[in-house]
A and B are shown apart, each in its own frame.
Chain A
Amino acid sequence: MSQTVVIAPAPGRYPPGDLAIWIFILAELLVFAVFFAAYAFARAGDVALFDEYQHTLDRRAALVNTLALITSSYFVVRATAAIREGSARDCARWLAGAIGLGALFLVVKSLEYAHHLEAGVHLGTNTFYMFYLSLTFFHFMHVLMGMVILGAVALKARRGGYSATEHTGVETGGVYWHMVDLVWLILFPLVYVMR
């Protein structure tokens, strides 16, 4: 089998997975786009405040989380490739790995939140923290939801519910997870690095 088949679905007019999830993903991406733009324009109105409080964020934790999400997305690609090659067991294992990395993301992010809460930070502290907390928590909830979806897909894969010819569910869960990763890839530099 050619190596390119591993990540390439059959060429077609529609993207992999259920079309409904793509409509949902586009709606989600639109919301995050508005959030990102609002953050950037709010910062433009008070650069000094945003730069000052950006220093209080843990960039190392954000890097760990970035690598966790990127790697979990890679695991989901491998899971999709495995089911396309007819290996449901490997598919479930790769998905379990992706869920584990999602859990790591949640733990690291929770530790960051705990640190801020201990310092007395809350939504009303200032505009920067209002955006930081609401934006990252909104994304946090998407990671949680993505883990639930991947968990359901992994269980079904483990029980033999997917095959090389019928695996729309794996692709559907996968593209949702990639969307969660995609959003973080913009959020990380915007909130933690750019100033």
Chain B
Amino acid sequence: MTPTPAPRAWIRPCTRIWLLLVLLSVVTFVVGELGATGLAPSLLVLGFAMLKGQLIGDFYMGLRWVSGLWRWAVVIWLLVPGGLITTAFVMAARGTA
């Protein structure tokens, strides 16, 4: 008996990731064009950037399929500058810098 081939998705997973990356980038641009200032919009676009970074690390760099510490290499990297940038922007917003 011939095994049934797996059904082909109409769009590849990597293409779906690309579309999501494009969408988040365009939204980030629109936030900038709207002239949104302050802590909330800044942290929103930073959050988008970190999500995009995780998608790149997991699906494009292939870390999703890796076990152990390497699995978290990009996530940890994103959290370090992400946390420091957040701290700096909170300090700026509160005028405590």
Residues of A within 8 A of B (CB): 1-4, 6-16, 22, 26, 29-30, 32-33, 36-37, 40-41, 43-45, 47, 51, 59-60, 62-63, 66-67, 70-71, 73-74, 76-78, 81, 171, 174-175, 178-179, 181-182, 185-186, 188-190, 192-195
Contacts and interface: CB of A to CB of B under 8 A. Distances in A.
A36 B66 contact: no
B22 A193 contact: no
A14 B73 CA distance: 11
A67 B23 CA distance: 10
Contacts of A194: 41-42, 45-46, 85, 89
Contacts of B26: 63
B1 interface: no
Instruction: Give 10 closest A-B pairs by Cβ, nearest first.
Output: A40-B88, A44-B97, A193-B32, A37-B84, A44-B92, A194-B42, A74-B18, A189-B45, A33-B81, A2-B6
17 contacts: A1-B5, A11-B67, A12-B66, A13-B70, A22-B73, A36-B81, A37-B84, A41-B91, A44-B97, A70-B18, A175-B61, A182-B56, A182-B57, A185-B49, A188-B25, A189-B49, A194-B45
**B-side binding surface: helix, strand, loop or mixed?**
helix
Contacts, number: 171
Interface residues of B, number: 57
B5 to A, nearest CB: 8
**A-side binding surface: helix, strand, loop or mixed?**
helix
A186 B53 contact: yes
B15 A14 contact: no
Contacts of B14: 6-7, 74, 77-78, 81
Contacts of B74: 182
Interface string B30-66: 0111000100011001101110110011011111111
A67 B33 CA distance: 16
Contacts of A60: 29
Given A15-B66, A175-B61, A194-B42, 6 more contacts: A74-B18, A76-B60, A181-B60, A186-B49, A186-B50, A186-B82
A61 B37 CA distance: 20
Nearest to A175: B61
A16 B9 contact: no
A103 B41 CA distance: 32
A41 B97 contact: yes
B15 to A, nearest CB: 7
A59 B48 contact: no
A63 B57 contact: no
